[in-house]
Amino acid sequence: MSGIRPTGFLHLGNYFGAISNYVKMQEDFDCFFMVADLHSLTTHPDTAALKANVHRVLAENIACGLDPDKVAFYCQSHVHETAELYLYLNMMAYKGELEKTTTFKEKVRLNPENVNAGLLTYPVLMATDIILHRAKYVPVGKDQEQHLEMARTFANRFNHRYGDVFPEPLAFNYNQSLLKVPSLDGEGKMSKSENQMATLYLADSDDMIRKKVMKAKTDSGPTEKNAPKPDYIENIFLLMKLVCPAETVGKFEDDYNNCVIRYGDLKKQLAEDMVNFIAPIRSQVDAILQDEEGLKQIMLKGAEKANTSAGETMKLVREAMGLNYF
């Protein structure tokens, strides 16, 4: 089970941290993937663009290979049991532990005008989404590690208090370690809403991709053979490994180690491989977005599957909690 907030255009971090794993998992597991529209309300209360953003997230996931026939692909707000389980879990989540969450502190810093209770309890809602389907594996990027730890805490606390209902959810990535796709300026991660010129979006035009890659931070190159790479150069190599053929990466690694690297050439190559990776996804998204009726049918089918699963879990929850009076 996993989700993506409809707060803007999806980017390379969402692709490699999350969606590429969804697409593999759909062949091996019984999967639930959602557009986390309720989560987006914690930071984006204005809903004027919400419908278009929900459509975009649906279309972008499908263009990346997610198959709504193989998984439950749904909108969070279409599963009303979410609100019920969130209520129960909130009574097992303590103010102190929520206030210590790194993402909460970061969001307070970025937006001190809107420190709402939903923002504080974001990890509770996320735990709810996961355990509502009694999910075991949660494909997410490295930025979600702490939230997953909290989801395990809340699931265990419920089990301890009311009896075993939930498995312990684990962060999942086929490549073993969780991934953080860095931003092009060497500062932080690629993100939907921050750092836009340093983030590569799946909707970026070929020229925009070239422009962003060519502006990536580099320096005048190493002066000693086999020198360690500074973080911002390591980041560029990480991006190359994601989209360039292995021999291209190998050639530039050798050039670096022999102090003959030309970052201009490296960035030109990276930009072209990035264009080749993103352009086909972008044009498919445009086609999927044209078909509003198709998107509606996908949401309805996904909601039906998610509601069935949530309904089964909530029966167990109410029984375990003693909320069944007749």
Catalogue the active-site residues.
107, 189, 192
Pattern of binders to ligand ADP over 254-273, x per CB under 6 A?
Answer: --------------------
* 107 contributes a contact to ligand ADP by CB under 6 A: no
Q: Token digits for 307?
A: 């509601």
* Cβ 247 to ligand ADP shortest distance, Å: 25
* Cβ 143 to ligand ADP shortest distance, Å: 5
Residue number, 37 or 81, with CB nearest to ligand ADP: 37
Query: Which amino acid, residue 73?
Result: F
* Cβ 180 to ligand ADP shortest distance, Å: 5
* 4 contributes a contact to ligand ADP by CB under 6 A: yes
d(CA 116, CA 46): 14
Q: Which of 101, 191, 309, 313 binds ligand ADP (CB under 6 A)?
A: 191
d(CA 107, CA 39): 13
* Cβ 148 to ligand ADP shortest distance, Å: 10
Q: Give me the helices (H) in the chain, please.
A: 12-14, 20-28, 37-40, 50-63, 81-90, 95-99, 102-110, 117-120, 122-131, 145-162, 206-214, 231-243, 246-257, 263-290, 292-321
* 189 contributes a contact to ligand ADP by CB under 6 A: yes
From 10-18, 25-33, 223-231, 294-302, give the range in contact with ligand ADP by CB under 6 A: 10-18
What count of Cα atoms within 13 Å lies in the side-chain half-sphere of residue 232?
Answer: 16
Residue number, 9 or 88, with CB nearest to ligand ADP: 9
Q: Token digits for 190?
A: 């690629």
Residues 6 or more apart whose CB falls under 8 angstroms from that of 91 comprise none
In contact, 73 and 66? CB cutoff 8 Å: yes
Q: Contact positions toward ligand ADP, by CB under 6 A?
A: 2, 4-5, 7, 13-14, 17-18, 140-141, 143-144, 179-181, 189-192
